[in-house]
Structure 1
Amino acid sequence: MSPPSEQDTRWATAGERIQTLLDASSAGGTVARERAEQLVGEVTDLYGAALGRLLRLALTAEPALAETVAADPLVASLLLVHGLHPHSVERRIGDALDTVRPYLGSHGGDVHLLDVDGTTVRLRFSGTCRSCPSSAATLELAVEDAVRAAAPEIESIEVVAAETDSTVIPAESLFTRVHGPVTWSPVPALDELGPGEVGGFAVAGAGVLACRVGDAIYAYRDRCPSCARSLAGAQLDGVDLRCPGCGAEFDVVAAGAGVGVPQRLEPVPVLHRAGVWSLAIAEEVA
């Protein structure tokens, strides 16, 4: 996977910058905020109408272009905003799940699309990861993020864990109910990690240790569960991360499971979102 360009990184975070500017406009009072939102809405509707017309002209001339435009992350995201995406919601969710399936597999799990009913999608999780609360929450967040990015019209996710266990989890609170509000933070520097390398990062006020195994990147909170000290200076031996303080080892591919010890590292979700590696940091709640 080639590193994202500066333009990729810029546009991947454009939504956050727009929201920040809208929030700042609130300092001028309610009227200023409403005018700013109206301005953004007018501009968005204008280029949305033009984008829709261009798409119709392009697909009329060359129908095969549908796959090309759908494969471009930036173009696809704009098409979704305006309800112009050429693929059905089932196709988009299925493709999104395929992108996170290798990540789920690294944690011993998998996910299957059962059906889509209106604004509700039904999924089934499987695998041994469900026995670990922290790993299960990490995987659910990865899936929720992928589904919401591919199908913003989805309002709730029904997670079917077993034949006799079904719970409806609103998309807005899928992860919040476990750990608290979550913030996705782009970390382009993760691309600089070479195979077998370990790096420390400060993300959203939290210390994170990330390592690359092959083409995959795994991230964990920078705290050894055995000695409660930082993992700074830890080395990776294959898939095993050794704590420089107490010598305890943890399998980074198996959701941070301890090797010969009962403790496990705390996973931090890491996904390639809109061309940029990003980490999800949850605020701790009582």
Structure 2
Amino acid sequence: MDHENLLGAAGERISSLLDALGSGGPVARDRAEELVRQVTDLYGAGLERILQVLDGEGALTSSTLAALTSDPLVSGLLVIHGLHPLDLPARVAGALDSVRPYLGSHGGDVELLGISEEGVVRLRLLGSCQGCPSSSVTLKLAVEDAIETAAPEVTGIEVQEAAPATAPALIPVGALRSRLDGAGPSPGEVAGGTWEALPELSGLESGAVAGFLVSGLEVLACRIGTDIYAFVDRCPRCTRQMPGASLQRALAAPLGGGLLRCPHCRSHFDVRKAGVCLEDRNLHLDPLPLLLRGGVPSVAVPTAAEPP
């Protein structure tokens, strides 16, 4: 198990053990919780002393501190014991900065609106992913995991999506000028790509998986209930296309969530979590935004995928 997942797995295991010990009565549970507190306090004091020794020796330089806090396991332990040099807002802002390149590749961005006293992070979606059905899933993968790693004390994440903009009464001068210059986008274009109609998605049955070639891009789509999801047809683990991929039920997922299984390396990808790989959470399928345009399902194809 890698260091990034070790802290979370240990916390879950400790919690499950405490629950099991609770079946022995309140006294047994109280003693178990006291034992955990004593061990935690001991290691916390040790970590604090290590930092004091490094500082006293002049070895706790800014580069050393940056290296320590950039490690997910060390950073998480420093947060738990109140030793992290960055406060909560700074760590959340850093987490958002780390995923902006990923969101930007889909023509989107995210804005930090604030953090409540209860530890709830409020965000707003920006860019072309705003309002599309896959935006919440993209956010969950790209943003939520980053925030939970950098700031495990966060109690929740709320996403605010702006209401659809109404058509302006007047055409802005800048837009008119760009059209006269021939630089404005055509009606089917989006930032970084184009919307391509894919009416076949309407006939996709729940539980079905199908592949499509859209403007030179191999697309893998599946349906769970009324929800349709689309991804670039490429397994990030074995780097092969996934014809014959199957949709399996995720027992722990709500609302009948499903797992796409690669037919080659048999890796599993959580569809409702933007294709995150269960075997390696650092990997994920590449989700594609979907939208009903004129009543026809359409998929956003990145510019790089379009044929020359």
Larger radius of gyration: 2
Shift of 1:202: 5.6
Other-structure match for 2:288: 254
Other-structure match for 1:79: 78
Measured in 1, the distance between the counterparts of 2:68 and 2:19 equals: 32
Task: Count the aligned residue pairs.
Answer: 202
Q: TM-score, normalised by structure 2?
A: 0.52
Q: Residues 18-167 of structure 1 correspond to what in structure 2 (within 5 A)?
A: 18-60=14-56, 61-62=58-59, 63-64=61-62, 65-116=64-115, 118=117, 119=119, 121-133=121-133, 135-142=134-141, 143-155=143-155, 157=157, 159-162=159-162
Measured in 2, the distance between the counterparts of 1:210 and 1:253 equals: 15
Taking a change above 3 Å as real, the CA distance of residues 20 and 201 of structure 1, as seen in their structure-2 partners, is: farther
RMSD after superposition: 4.1
Matched, 1:220 2:271: yes
Measured in 2, the distance between the counterparts of 1:255 and 1:203 equals: 23
Q: Contact 2:3 / 2:72 at 8 angstroms: preserved in 1?
A: no
Measured in 1, the distance between the counterparts of 2:73 and 2:248 equals: 27
- The amino acid that maps onto 2:288 is A
Taking a change above 3 Å as real, the CA distance of residues 254 and 87 of structure 1, as seen in their structure-2 partners, is: same
Measured in 2, the distance between the counterparts of 1:210 and 1:84 equals: 41
Measured in 1, the distance between the counterparts of 2:120 and 2:91 equals: 14
Other-structure match for 1:194: 238
Measured in 1, the distance between the counterparts of 2:130 and 2:236 equals: 32
Taking a change above 3 Å as real, the CA distance of residues 58 and 200 of structure 1, as seen in their structure-2 partners, is: farther
Aligned residues with identical type, % of pairs: 42
Other-structure match for 1:272: none
SS at match of 2:240: coil
Shift of 1:68: 1.0
Taking a change above 3 Å as real, the CA distance of residues 155 and 70 of structure 1, as seen in their structure-2 partners, is: same
- The amino acid that maps onto 2:78 is L
| CA displacement 1:7-50 (0-9 Å, x = unmatched) | 66555522221122112112212222222122111111111111
Q: Contact 2:259 / 2:269 at 8 angstroms: preserved in 1?
A: no
Unaligned runs of 5+ in 1: 166-190, 212-216, 222-250, 266-286
Shift of 1:129: 2.7
Other-structure match for 1:246: none
Measured in 2, the distance between the counterparts of 1:56 and 1:35 equals: 32
Measured in 2, the distance between the counterparts of 1:10 and 1:115 equals: 29
| CA displacement 1:174-198 (0-9 Å, x = unmatched) | xxxxxxxxxxxxxxxxx98222343
Measured in 1, the distance between the counterparts of 2:55 and 2:249 equals: 42
Shift of 1:73: 1.0
Unaligned runs of 5+ in 2: 166-234, 252-256, 263-267, 273-284, 300-308
Shift of 1:155: 4.3
Q: Contact 2:95 / 2:147 at 8 angstroms: preserved in 1?
A: yes
SS at match of 2:47: helix
SS at match of 2:161: strand
Measured in 2, the distance between the counterparts of 1:29 and 1:38 equals: 15
